[in-house]
Structure 1
């Protein structure tokens, strides 16, 4: 019987679909739901600008990290350039916002017990470690849609989770 579901999100469309699926499952089964956002160690500005497709977060993140700005940046790229190298704080605030947005979605669907976590580390390894730590019975993740050749060479996060998880894994396509 499933008692605790872990869903990982990066704010992308597939991750939002995974959150919706996990929230619906948590509601139907009456289980706890933990929403996890993983911040990759050593994230560079170029990678950070691709962290999420959620440009609407720019206003919230810039208000928290740079309240002195007169003009709110129009995109993630502008936000990171305006940071003058303090990307770590912005990525952290962005991670918190992604997790909280997902929690708001889950609660609006009807999931009653929702927790959020933002952790640094390798994506797959951190998801697996948190699943073990919280005793998750199921992990829900979105698919990445990597090309066939690249997927075989690099391996996706979801593939690594499927191979190494000690619980059920649902990949939302």
Structure 2
């Protein structure tokens, strides 16, 4: 029988990612697994909108990156606080394309399961759209549970 040791939970702060975390906590509590929370800042899509702003120099993009990191780490901290103390938790902040970044983290941390929301419409709309969960399900080498 398969034993879950590390459950990856991508989050963007949305309601569906909170639901996914609830499921992950139930599973982790039952089997003694660690939860690894993942927040992916998709800075490329945000910065691409600056090409229409004449004064979008390096400072603006650098500030956007810093703001996204601060927001992401706050989401990770808030989600980590919602996990019972008896469940071990790690937090990972990544920058990149959400689907590949989630799978990269899953590989790096030897994930046994990925639990994620079907659509994320949190503070950074579009970070976890349905296409991201489809990408993860299609390309993951471990099981993925998509929560609605």
Superposition TM-score, scaled by structure 2 size: 0.78
CA contact (8 A) 1:5 1:26 kept: yes
Task: Point out where structure 2 has 5 or more consecutive residues left out of the alignment.
Answer: 50-58, 121-128
Hey, what does 1:81 align to over in structure 2?
none
Corresponding pairs, count: 127
Hey, what does 1:76 align to over in structure 2?
none
Task: Point out where structure 1 has 5 or more consecutive residues left out of the alignment.
Answer: 48-83, 146-153
Is residue 89 from structure 1 mapped to residue 66 from structure 2 by the alignment?
A: yes
Q: CA RMSD in A?
A: 2.2
Match for residue 18 of structure 1 among 17, 20, 36: 20
Render the CA deviation track for 1:67-93: whole Å, top value 9, x for unaligned. Answer: xxxxxxxxxxxxxxxxx9322211110
Largest Rg, 1 or 2? 1
Q: Distance in 2 between matches of 1:135 and 1:171?
A: 19
Summarize the alignment of residues 68-147 of structure 1 with structure 2, pairs less than 5 Å apart.
Answer: 85=60, 86-107=63-84, 111-144=86-119
Superposition TM-score, scaled by structure 1 size: 0.67
Describe the shift of the 1:30–1:118 C-alpha distance in structure 2 as closer, same or farther (beyond 3 A). same
Kindly state the Cα deviation for residue 165 of structure 1 after the two structures are TM-superposed: 0.5
Structure 1 ranges of 4+ moved more than 3 A: none
Hey, what does 1:74 align to over in structure 2?
none
CA contact (8 A) 1:33 1:111 kept: no
